[in-house]
């Protein structure tokens, strides 16, 4: 009975060149689906990638007795995803022998006909050894270098604390003292100040006598040439007129 070598399997689907198109209008939205043993992996969907999709997904699992791995490429649709192509991979290609990495195009088929090529990387790291997987055909895998060693931080030295001089003491403020306060009379409550010598009373204003003018009223006179009647300045004081209620009297 053949013994299976346990270890960690890493799968990286990189890109694909598809010859089959499931879309009549528009472009396909491809993704990769992988079944191995009881594990199922699914990559991200590349919308509108058409026949040349690419991915950056990485899948890992611990291999026990798994031998065959199935790889599918689907076109994601609203209702049902369409199968574009599929392929199988035997893990013994990388778990046995010196070559522990497969990085190449994998031929994909649909109903027995070639439907595309998937560029994929599959590597294996055995649990029985601590060495990294080796590449065949002159290829070598680059792994990150060990973490750099940093020197301990320098010791900080501190000088003596700075001595500060005490603040300068300034004399306290002494308010001035006055000899006597002004006196205020009890009647007004305000201080009386001496009137300056240069102040003199203003001269009295001149008095004016108001002259009352009288005007004698007079009635206007009109020249006879104008054709208007000249009325006397004095009007008869008799009221009612003599002709009121009696015979008419001639005008004066």
- Residue 143 pLDDT: 42
Contact between 54 and 14 (Cβ < 8 Å): yes
Other beta carbons within 10 Å of 19: 14
- Residue 128 pLDDT: 75
**pTM passes above 0.75:** no
Give how far the C-alpha of residue 52 lies from the chain's centroid of Cα atoms, to the nearest Å: 39
Contact between 230 and 221 (Cβ < 8 Å): yes
CA–CA gap between residue 230 and residue 224 (Å, rounded): 8
**Proportion of the chain above pLDDT 90, given as a percent:** 39
Higher pLDDT, 70 or 197: 70
* Least confident stretch, 147-151, 161-165, 236-240: 236-240
């Amino acid at each position: 009975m053949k013994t299976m070598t346990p270890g960690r399997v890493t799968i990286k689907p990189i890109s694909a060149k598809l010859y089959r198109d499931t879309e009549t209008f528009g472009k396909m939205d491809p993704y990769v689906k992988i079944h191995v043993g009881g594990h199922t992996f699914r990559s991200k969907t590349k919308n509108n990638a058409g026949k040349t999709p690419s991915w950056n997904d990485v899948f890992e699992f611990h291999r026990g007795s798994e031998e065959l791995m199935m790889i599918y490429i689907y076109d994601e649709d609203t209702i049902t995803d369409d199968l574009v192509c599929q392929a199988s991979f035997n893990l013994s290609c990388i778990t046995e022998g010196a070559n522990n990495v497969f990085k190449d195009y994998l031929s994909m088929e649909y109903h027995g006909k070639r439907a595309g090529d998937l560029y994929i990387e599959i590597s294996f790291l055995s649990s029985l050894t601590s060495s990294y997987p080796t590449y065949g055909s002159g290829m070598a895998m680059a792994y990150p270098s060990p973490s750099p060693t940093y020197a301990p931080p320098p010791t900080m030295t501190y000088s003596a604390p700075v001595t500060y001089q005490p603040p300068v003491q300034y004399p306290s403020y002494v308010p001035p003292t006055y000899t006597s306060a002004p006196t205020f009379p009890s009647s007004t409550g305000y201080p009386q100040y001496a009137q300056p010598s240069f102040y003199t009373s203003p001269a009295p204003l001149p008095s004016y006598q108001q002259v009352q003018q009288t005007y004698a009223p007079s009635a206007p006179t009109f020249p006879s040439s104008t054709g208007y009647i000249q009325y006397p300045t004095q009007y008869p004081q008799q009221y009612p007129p003599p002709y009121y209620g009696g015979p008419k009297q001639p005008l004066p």
